Every structure is written in structure tokens, then in C-alpha cells.
Amino acid sequence: MKPVIGISCCMKPFGTYNTPNHAASDTYVRAVDLVVGGLPCLIPAMGERADVHAWLGLVDGLVLTGSRSNVEPARYGGPPHPEGTPEDPARDAVTLPLIRAALAEGVPLLAICRGMQELNVALGGTLDQRIQDLPGRMDHSTPSEQALSAVRIGKAHRVTIRPDSPLAAIVGAAHLAVNSLHNQGIARLAPGLRVEATAPDGTIEAVSVPAATGFALGVQWHPEYDFQTDAASRAIFEAFGKAARDRAAGRAARRPVVLAAE
């Protein structure tokens, strides 16, 4: 049985009339299909109308995607964004309660880029809105208009992984070269999260949830971009996939057996 993997969507305008659409990049769908071995299921950015517990009853794992939009500052008590900063309140209203419910129910969770920031906010942490403006920090962003894919999603810096951590066990290394496409980053780490990796400037690049009963990992970079060529990126999706398949198998084993009438 293929595990059903929920993939968080953004609300984005498309077409001539900027019609609102629920969208997730094909890179996540392909990673779920080709590496996780799962059935991708897009979770729409329905705002407050979303029934997160119903969604979690349908899925065996959850991927929180990256996005150009930033988490609304009101969600973590931060100052307003500068004018023109993209936000997605409809997504925030779905993903933040979805994260808390997924952790409570032991649903495997892989949070990527914005998804890791959502994980931190959902559990009570805060964000820096523009890391590049802080003293002594690197510019972790890549211009969205950069047309050269090799530059836009190529390796940008190294991260140092905490020894004996779950992430170290997954990737089998103490250091990784990663891509970097974000302005926001974790400021105050949420209670219940543990730092798994940091950038040279101290920016938190990966977190885990030690008390979680299921797989729960957040990474600030984008392993979905190069899982076909990068062993560490593939290993992250493989570890998540194993957890999702185990949950799917457990759910199947608990289903009641219906006997046909004679």
C-alpha cells in the first residue's frame, strides 16, 4: 500500500485575471512519488475553514513546502513586514494548526524552508524577517529573478550537523553543502524544538522535535530540488518515506476485517 502524503499548498494568483489557485511545486510531488513511494495529496490553503483533523485522518505523512511568502508576523508577535513582502494568511491558517495536530497524533512530518519556519511559529517560536540585515549574518536569499537554475538552486554554503543527532544518522555526515533561498529564519527557537544543524553565521538550518512520537524534521534548505543527484537530499526523503510507510502499514493492520455474507 502506498502511503498518502499530504503536501501543503500556497494560495497564489494565476492567469490573466489573477485567479486564486491552490499551488504546490512539482518538485515536492516528484519527491513524494519517486523517493517516498507515496501518493501525493495536495492540501489546499483553505484558511480557517480547513478541518485539519479530517485531513490528518486521510494522510500517512505531511510535507510542509517552501514558498516565497512569509509567515504573517502577527502569528509570532513580530513587527509588520515591509510593504510589498508576500504573505499568505490562508496558508498560515491551515499549516500552523495542522502542525500541532500532526505532532499530537504522531503523523510523520517533514518541514522544508517556510515549512520549518511554520513549525517554529506553531510551537511558540519567533522569526527574523530579513537575516541579511542583521549584524554578522550572511545573505541567505537568492534573487527570484535569477534565471540560471544552477545558480538559483545550487549549493550556497555548508551547514554543521549536531553530532549523534537524527539528521546526522540520516545523512551520514557532520557537514553538508546546501542551497539557500530564504530571507526569514528562526530567531527564538520554540520550546520543544532542538537544533540539528547551523550555518557558518549561526543561522539555524535544521530542527527536530525530540518529544514527537513520529518522524518530525525541519530543514531550512530545499532537498526536493536535487534528490536525484544529491545523496543527502535523497536520504532525507527516504527516512521520511520509511516513517510514512510504517504508519500506513499500522493503519492498515488496525482496520476492521469485513467478512462477506454467505
Active site positions, annotated? 113, 222, 224
Write down how long the chain is: 262
Residue 127 burial by CB count (10 A; 0-12/13-18/19+): exposed, middle or buried? buried
Tell me the residue ranges of DSSP E strands in the chain: 4-8, 10-14, 19-23, 39-43, 61-64, 109-112, 127-128, 157-161, 175-178, 185-186, 194-198, 204-208, 216-219
Spatial contact of 69 and 94, defined as CB atoms under 8 Å apart: no
Helices (H), the chain: 26-31, 52-58, 89-105, 114-122, 149-152, 166-171, 231-254
Closest CA to 201 of 135, 123, 143: 135
Count of C-beta atoms within a 10 Å radius of residue 29: 18
Distance CA 174, CA 7 (A): 29
To 5 degrees, how large is the angle CA 162–CA 245–CA 66?
Answer: 55
Cell of 19: 485567479
Distance CA 174, CA 168 (A): 6
